[in-house]
Copies of this chain bind each other. A is one copy, B any other.
């Protein structure tokens, strides 16, 4: 049987800390690194970040949109990058925010979590607009292959409140309903927390009791997006030990392209994240 994602993530986190570095080769990052907005520019920046940070941190999160921007050629670069990440042993999260009806999610589950897929990652992010239950094919394939899923609960951007702060007839907010449903799936599945959630650092803590989530919490929004590690620490205090990972993307990428500056920035964020 495959090693379970929840267990592997916790092990890497104990070893290297709570920092997850985002690999977000956006048009603006390529420009700030003096690289052209081409597939070659994309590949250069993504590889450089992975090479520098891969052995320093527990987790990297690749932003799929910036690869997809170049179509199939961009995904080919991503496939190669994910292969290199596997060689290094760093845990990979594909930030794809996929989500559809259940029968369609079979396709996304195979793509990102299937045993032989060229895009296979240790975990994928998923969007619950069509329901947490509709994502079941992702949970099933994750359980089969020892991989994980992070379901969006509350994202770091203000515009997300429109949907995520809405309430059901009992007054519970959408983000809390998502947390509750993910906790229920964790109970039913491996019990080792292969299903996680995304909770933005910039948002107030949820009403849901995070200690019973039973899985990891990925926290974006720190650094350029305005969230602080103090905010993450408050969130983390409510969670089970060693389950919160904090993602920093632009604030680290901005230190490049100089390798030494990139390494120093990563180490600084990693050390600062030791409070979690």
What is the interface of chain A, defined by CB distance below 8 A to chain B? 24, 26-28, 63, 65-76, 78-79, 95, 97-108, 110-111, 114, 117-119, 127-134, 152, 155-168, 173-174, 177-178, 181
Contact = CB atoms under 8 A, between A and B. Distances in A.
Contact of A157 (B68, B130, B164): B130
A72 B76 contact: yes
A134 B157 contact: yes
Contacts of A157: 101-102, 130-131, 134
A98 B163 contact: no
Question: Can you tell how many copies of this chain the complex includes?
Answer: 2
A130 B129 CA distance: 9
Contacts of A178: 162-163
Contacts of A107: 26-27, 63, 65-69
Contact of A159 (B67, B133, B156): B133
A73 B71 contact: no
Given A100-B97, A106-B27, A118 B162 contact: no
A120 B239 CA distance: 43
Nearest to A110: B69
A101 B162 contact: no
A127 B160 CA distance: 11
Contact of A162 (B73, B117, B131): B131
B162 A105 contact: no
Contacts of A71: 75, 79, 111, 117-119
28 contacts: A26-B103, A27-B106, A63-B104, A65-B98, A65-B105, A65-B108, A68-B107, A69-B110, A69-B111, A71-B117, A71-B118, A72-B73, A72-B75, A72-B78, A72-B79, A72-B118, A73-B118, A99-B129, A102-B159, A128-B163, A129-B155, A129-B160, A130-B155, A131-B159, A134-B160, A162-B174, A163-B174, A166-B168
A104 B65 contact: yes
A131 B161 contact: yes
A157 B102 CA distance: 9
Which residue among A72, A111, A114, A167 has the maximum number of chain B CB atoms within 10 Å of its CB? Answer: A72
A158 B13 CA distance: 38
Nearest to A161: B131
A101 B65 CA distance: 11
Contacts of A159: 101-102, 130-134
A129 B152 contact: yes
Given A72-B78, A97-B99, A130-B163, 10 more contacts: A68-B107, A68-B108, A68-B111, A97-B129, A128-B163, A130-B152, A130-B157, A133-B159, A133-B162, A134-B159
